[in-house]
Structure 1
Amino acid sequence: MIAGLTWLVAFQLAGELVTRVADLPVPGPVVGMLLLFCFLRLRRYDDAGSIVRAGTALLRHLQLFFVPAGVGVVLYLGLIGREALPIGVAMLGSWFLGLAAVGWTAVALERLLGRPRDDLGTA
């Protein structure tokens, strides 16, 4: 378990270093997860490996990772209330843009791969 946690923290640190050195506008942990993904794909890990065991143990207690975010929301509840309209518009707009991007990507992949459409409207 300690070895797996060490690997996870090492990849997070590597991601932080990459983003700081390359001055990337991406959070370090995201780059670290990408590096970890590439490492695991190249290494051919097994389900009993230390990284998988540590990740599974962390996922079992995932709800604890939401506590700091919840405390932050409660701490800034007044500000969130004053800025509710811009926050709501941003959330709705980003949801719609994400939905549209997924739809356009699916249509483009359908055309690219030449797969037939599976329309539910035809009987």
Structure 2
Amino acid sequence: MIAAIALLLFCQLLGEALNRGLGVPLPGPVLGMFLLFAWLKLRPGERVELKAVATWLIGHFAVLFVPATMGLIDEGPALARDGVGIVVACVVATLLTIAVTAFVFRWVSARDEIAA
């Protein structure tokens, strides 16, 4: 389990290093996710420990977001001024994410049916 956590943290750290050190125009966590994906492609096979760690993290997402949520308390004036715009942006971004996810899912599903 420690090795799986170390792998996740290493990918995150390397992604941040690429972002900050080389100026790659993607956020560090996104780069880390791509690095983790590449690692899993290079080393095929089921990662039982990684799956267990990921399942635990997903199960505790609410706790992981508490600090970010509590930080909003200090932003009362900004939220009062720009709250409607922020809510609209969040709703539009969520709808676009759902639409793109559905499109990609359908595209991959159709591609799998052709390959099979």
TM above 0.5, yes or no, is yes
1:50-69 C-alpha deviation (Å, 9 max, x unpaired): 32222222222222111012
1:57, 1:93 → 2: CA distance? 30
Runs of 4+ in 1 over 4 A off after TM superposition: 95-103
Query: Residue 83 in 1 paired to residue 82 in 2?
Result: yes
Cα distance change of structure 1 residues 31 and 52 upon mapping to structure 2, 3 Å threshold:
same
TM-score (norm 2): 0.71
Q: Tell me how large the CA RMSD over aligned residues is.
A: 2.8
Q: 1:78 to 1:19 in 2, by over 3 A?
A: same
Distance in 2 of aligned mates of 1:4 and 1:47? 9
SS at match of 1:76: helix
Q: Aligned residue for 1:57? A: 56
Which structure has the greater CA radius of gyration?
A: 1
Q: CA deviation at 1:80?
A: 0.7
Residues 102, 45 of structure 1: alpha-carbon distance in 2 compared, 3 angstrom cutoff: closer
Q: Which has the higher helix share?
A: 2
Unaligned runs of 5+ in 1: 114-123
Structure 2 residues not aligned, in runs of 5+: 112-116
Question: What's the counterpart of residue 69 of structure 2?
Answer: 70
Matching residue of 1:46: 46
| Inter-partner Cα distance in structure 2 for 1:102 and 1:13 | 27
Task: Tell me the CA shift for residue 97 of structure 1.
Answer: 5.0
Tell me, yes or no, if structure 1 residue 9 matches structure 2 residue 9.
yes
Q: 1:102 to 1:55 in 2, by over 3 A?
A: closer
Q: Percent identity?
A: 34
